[in-house]
């Protein structure tokens, strides 16, 4: 049995209650952390069904959920809203405190190359997963120089690079050093030389900032 579904009025209320309080939707009612990163792509935090309707009215065609396809309250509500609104819903999985998996970036590339635009990508807070995927999208899909694309991971978007979430910055910094040598392209490096476990072992987050992100900001 799924953790949350909308099959009865009682289960719908349970999903909405969990979404509002446990997923902190009440904090996102007025603050969406939304930014346009290119003429055809926006980034934001988790949109509510009401906000999805507003994005539909604005002209958005595709929603990219970076939290993965689950039976969580926010997912079942988003699925229902997108279906009712006629919005395409694409699920990708990105990490907020872990080094990227090559196979997930390959999947993301295929999705971005084939989806209908304009589109909106989101995670929970719109800071970390939305940030690193915005870097990836601009760099790999739109051809923006890496130095410029990496600005998507900054405190402007509430991303804290000193915490565990800073491993995302560390990943792109690692590739930037290799790209500067000109000896190998990104996809060859990612699939033949990149060592996710080694990158994780070498990254040293700041303990206090990590505590704040985990326990006060309660990032996913």
Angle among Cα 175, 163, 216 to the nearest 5 degrees reads: 145
Integer Cα distance of 132 and 100 in angstroms: 9
pTM for the whole structure: 0.93
Q: Which fold has domain 9-216?
A: 3.90.190
Please give the average per-residue pLDDT across 135-151, as a whole number: 99
- Maximum CA pair distance of the chain? 59
**CA-to-CA separations, 124 to 92, 139, 158, 166, 191, in angstroms, rounded:** 13, 22, 12, 17, 28
Quickly count: other Cβ atoms within 10 Å of residue 76's Cβ: 21
Q: Are 212 and 111 in contact (CB under 8 A)?
A: no
β-bridge partners, 91: 65
Convert the pLDDT of each residue in 54-113 to its tens digit: 999 999 999 999 999 999 999 999 999 999 999 999 999 999 989 999 999 999 999 999
% of the chain exceeding 90 in pLDDT: 89
In this structure, what token pair is assigned to residue 98?
């872990």
Produce one character per residue of 156-166: b if its CB has 16 or more CB atoms within 10 Å, e if not. Answer: ebbbbbbbbbb
% of the chain exceeding 70 in pLDDT: 98
pLDDT of residue 14: 96
Integer Cα distance of 46 and 120 in angstroms: 11
Place of tokens 């007025």: 30
Task: List the single range of 113-117, 156-160, 182-186 with lowest mean pLDDT.
Answer: 156-160
Q: Are 35 and 43 in contact (CB under 8 A)?
A: yes
Averaged pLDDT of the chain: 95
pLDDT of residue 218: 66
Produce one character per residue of 96-129: b if its CB has 16 or more CB atoms within 10 Å, e if not. Answer: bbbbbeeebbeebeebbeeeeebbbbbbbbbbbb
Convert the pLDDT of each residue in 165-186 to its tens digit: 999 999 999 999 999 999 999 9
Q: 117 pLDDT band (50/70/90 cuts)?
A: very high
């Amino acid at each position: 049995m799924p953790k949350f579904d909308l099959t009865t009025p009682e289960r719908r209320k349970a999903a909405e209650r969990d979404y509002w309080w446990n997923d902190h939707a009440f904090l996102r009612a007025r603050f969406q952390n939304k930014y346009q990163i290119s003429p055809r792509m926006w980034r934001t935090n988790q949109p509510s069904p009401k906000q999805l309707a507003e994005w539909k009215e604005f002209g958005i065609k595709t929603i990219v959920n970076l939290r993965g396809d689950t039976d969580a309250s926010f997912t079942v509500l988003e699925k229902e809203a997108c279906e009712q609104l006629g919005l395409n819903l694409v699920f990708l999985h990105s990490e907020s405190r872990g080094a990227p998996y090559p196979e997930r970036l390959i999947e993301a590339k295929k999705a971005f190359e084939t989806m209908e635009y304009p589109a909106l990508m989101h995670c929970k807070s719109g800071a970390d997963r939305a940030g690193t995927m915005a870097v990836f999208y601009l760099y790999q899909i739109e051809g923006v120089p890496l130095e410029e694309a990496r600005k998507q991971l900054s405190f402007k978007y509430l991303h804290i690079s000193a915490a565990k979430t800073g491993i995302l910055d560390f990943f792109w910094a690692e590739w930037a050093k290799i790209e500067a040598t000109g000896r190998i392209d990104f996809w060859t490096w990612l699939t033949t030389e990149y060592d996710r476990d080694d990158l994780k072992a070498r990254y040293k987050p700041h303990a206090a900032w990590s505590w704040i992100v985990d326990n006060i900001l309660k990032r996913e």
